[in-house]
Amino acid sequence: MRARENPVLKAGAFLLAVVTFAIAAVMGCYQMVNLNVIWGQTSAAGGYTIRYLENQDLQQISYLLDLIYTEQELGSLSSYEQQMKSDLEQQYQWNNTNLRWQLLDPEGGVLQGNTTQARPSQPEGIYWGEYYVSNLEMDVRNDVGTKWADVVDTIRNPPASPQRVESDTWAYELSAAVQQYREDPSSVDLTAVYLDGEGKGDMLRISTQFGVFAYAPSVQNVIRSNVFGYHYDLDAGGWTTNAEEGWTEGAVALDLVLWVNTSLAVEGDSYAKAYLGLDWWKNHNVAMLVLNLVCVAVGIAMLVFLCVGAGCRKGTEGVYLNWFHRLPGELILVALFLLASYPVSWLVEEAIMDITYTIMPMKLQLLLVGGGMAAMTAMTAGLLTTVSARLKSHTLVRSTLLWWAWGWIKKILGMARRTIPLVWRVGMGGCLYMLVSLVLLMSNAVFLWVVISVVLVVYLCSWAHCWKQIRRCTGELLKGNLNVQISCHHMPHDLREHAQQLNNLGQSISQAVAERMRSEHFKAELITNVSHDLKTPLTSIINYVDLLKKEPMANERVEEYINVLERKSNRLKKLTEDLVEASKASTGVLSVELARLDLGEIADQALGEYEERLQAAGLAVVRTLPDHPVWVMADGRRLWRVLDNLLGNCAKYALEGSRVYVELHYDDKSATLSMKNISREALNVPVERLMERFVRGDESRSTDGSGLGLSIAQSMTELQKGTFQIEIDGDLFKAMVTLPLAPSEELAEMKG
């Protein structure tokens, strides 16, 4: 079993990756938050771990100060609050902690604290906070134009209604607010309150959990100012907030400073442990960084191993996809997002955004960082392994819901394309474009309309380009280039089908031509072989007939039989030679030696050779030959055979008593020798068929002939780089042999 197929090794690699990344995250987080101490020049007292503990203790000390000032304000505390106050005072005594703290007044004097010693000189070792003197939940309201006579009357004569029982409390608190003696709550010195001519003035109404306080614009309050964030403006005649001076409404902000006694007189407390821990990390920073990087490298290696082993299973060929690898990719992504979004956002908020102000213990923070990284590593490993397995099996895209939906859409569109004609589709597309354009232009979405129009124009240009390719390749097919192929990639469906049909047509024609050529080749080989086999016995027959003719014959009938036998054997010999020659000419086996010949002279010699035979057939020859030589490039033997076949046809098939016209014409490039005669029989055969082998103009075959003469003449003319044509006009038969002119001697010398 290979390692990547071992499920135990895979499980171990998964757990090791989770553990190493979690350890790396915890170590990295600790080093990052304490970067200035571990890798900088800052002392351990300025590290995040120490400042984090100071921040926690700041909350506790603020609560202790709340209890102290509440006791001063109300005179007493509840038993629970009194116990909490005692415990906190005991906890933060100078001999129980290495933390030193002081509450400073605006002038820098010490109001509260566990030491009166001066603060250390290093600024990075001091933690500054703020404490608000009236740090009670309250509602401050400025009641403008309060009629104080009514207030005093309410205090002196509280109504009997049970709904106004708070008047006693109101009167008590009001007397305290204006600094009157509590023993006489009904006495209010109005002369000490600033009022207008109607006996009205502003009042600050402060509602807290301990009751309702009313602050009148008394002389003492004006002098003190900053009462719950307000002061009395004599010029304006009313209370004005101190917000523009940096005060918090409803409270006085005082500096609360904390620092660590670096002598660490109290052993074993949290500050001593944190301080010594930071010193240890500072002394071993390089080693811990290397260990951190090793953990990351091991985790990455394990993830790579899991990716390599994804889809591998013992005894299974190819890629094995379990149920997880077969789930739609979108479902996996959504599930991972839902599982990771809340923990990650919470972790970011608690451990990063509020890292200085959180009350979460440091160990819990690091535990959450490690746990979060472990969870993220597990999810990442699952995602990477399934992506790797799908890539190996080529199903990454095909295993998505979008792919399935696209398949259904393509299927529906394909059905619509097959059922709806192209003209209707184009018409509906045009109507849809006009409708969309109208809607977009009416809604002022001109940019979107331009984008759609540009896309449509690009599509039409692409369609036209594809159509041009099809037309060009169709022209090549018409020219006989059957090997041309149209590239169907990126073509619209209808054009792609048409292009594929043309490609198939070219292939079919090529196959048919190849089959025809193979058939012709086999036919030529058969004719050659049969002709060769006939030649040997036929030669013997001709020789023996010749010997019989030399013997004395007493019987005339026997002599007649011998003459018939001689005539038929010679005809058979001629047929055999024609077959062999036709076969060689069609297959290109015949050798051709082109030379400079006088076409007129050769034609004249051929007419002289056939003069007696033509006269015997009752044919008169009309010659139109030039007086000067007409030089052509031809093979004398092959050209003579062409003329022999043409004149032989005239002698066999021309109408008795008619004329045979022989004409020679030439131009700058070629010379044409034509022969015309009137056929004895009606020519009901097409020109193309008449050029085929074994086809004769005399369908009754009442005359001698094999039907190979014209075919041989055409093949031999083409071997000499010429053309052979025939024309039929009623009973008029015309054959034309065209050969290229030979260069003149002067031109040949110049070229030489």
pLDDT at 670: 92
pTM for the structure as a whole: 0.46
pLDDT at 126: 83
Contact assessment for residue 401 and residue 330, using Cβ atoms and an 8 Å cutoff: yes
Rounded to a whole number of angstroms, the CA Rg of the chain reads 60
pLDDT at 547: 80
pLDDT at 291: 94
Tokens of 586: 């069609």
Residues 591-749, CATH architecture: 2-Layer Sandwich (3.30)
435 φ/ψ angles, rounded to the nearest 5 degrees: -65, -45
* CA-wise closest residue to 249 among 232, 234, 233, 227: 227
3-state secondary structure of 208: strand
Strands 110-113 and 595-598: unpaired
One-letter amino acid for residue 105 of the chain: D
pLDDT at 275: 87
pLDDT at 631: 92
At 132-153, the pLDDT tens digits run 765 445 566 777 777 766 665 5
pLDDT at 598: 92
Contact assessment for residue 62 and residue 256, using Cβ atoms and an 8 Å cutoff: yes
pLDDT at 583: 66
Class of domain 482-589: mainly alpha
> For the chain, which residues score pLDDT lower than 50?
135-136, 158-188, 190-191, 210, 244-249, 353-357, 699-703, 746-752
pLDDT at 152: 58
Q: How many CB atoms lie within 10 A of CB 251?
A: 19
What is the dihedral sign for C-alpha 7, 12, 17, 19? positive
Domain range list for the chain:
3-39+281-398, 44-128, 138-250, 420-467, 482-589, 591-749
Q: How many CB atoms lie within 10 A of CB 524?
A: 19
pLDDT at 222: 57
